[in-house]
Amino acid sequence: MSVMKDLKKIALVAHDAKKGDLIQWVNDNIEHLKEHQLYATGTTGVTLEKETGLKVIKFKSGPIGGDQQIGAAIVEEKIDALIFFWDPLQSQPHDPDVKALLRVAALWNAVVACNKSSADFIIQSPLMHKTYRRDLKHIMDYTKDRSISH
């Protein structure tokens, strides 16, 4: 079991065509979000700070490794939730990185939203303000069977 504390560590990511939607969503939910620690890929993080006034810890820009940095932080249990407004109508040069990020988030049982509706449900959930035990038994079983530490 892994414990998410009541202060959640939330990664905010958006493809270029969805950055405006993410900014609007953050502004609409600023009271909820300011209670948590926020992370973002580079360009999104700079834009979020400028447009919302919130403090955001920034990784590299997505296409130059930021998505992978967020994935690594999920694996290290340094990020609890991923709000990723991705553009399903556009192919991205770093699509393999996006797929890897979503795979890692699912594997490590992170909270994931890929659009405004799912993000609204997540941010307004009472669980966002409580300690939560995420089940990682499948990872423990996998590593135990292979003599690997997690």
Q: Is residue 23 part of a domain?
A: yes
- Contact (CB, 8 A) for 59 and 70: yes
Q: What is the CATH number of the domain that holds 92?
A: 3.40.50.1380
- Given a cut of 90, is residue 111 above it in pLDDT? yes
Arithmetic mean of pLDDT, 21-34: 97
| pTM score of the predicted model | 0.91
pLDDT tens for residues 11-25? 999 988 999 999 999
Residue with the two structure tokens 């810890």: 57
- Given a cut of 90, is residue 145 above it in pLDDT? no
- Given a cut of 70, is residue 78 above it in pLDDT? yes
Q: Which residues are catalytic?
A: 67
Q: Is residue 150 part of a domain?
A: no
For 113, the domain range is 2-145
Q: How many domains are there within the chain? A: 1
Q: Is residue 79 part of a domain?
A: yes
Arithmetic mean of pLDDT, 96-124: 94
- Contact (CB, 8 A) for 64 and 93: no
Q: Who contacts 86 (Cβ-Cβ below 8 Å, separation ≥6)?
A: 13, 14, 15, 18, 92, 98, 114
> Residue 98: which of 84, 80, 111 has the closest Cα?
84
Residue with the two structure tokens 């979503």: 102
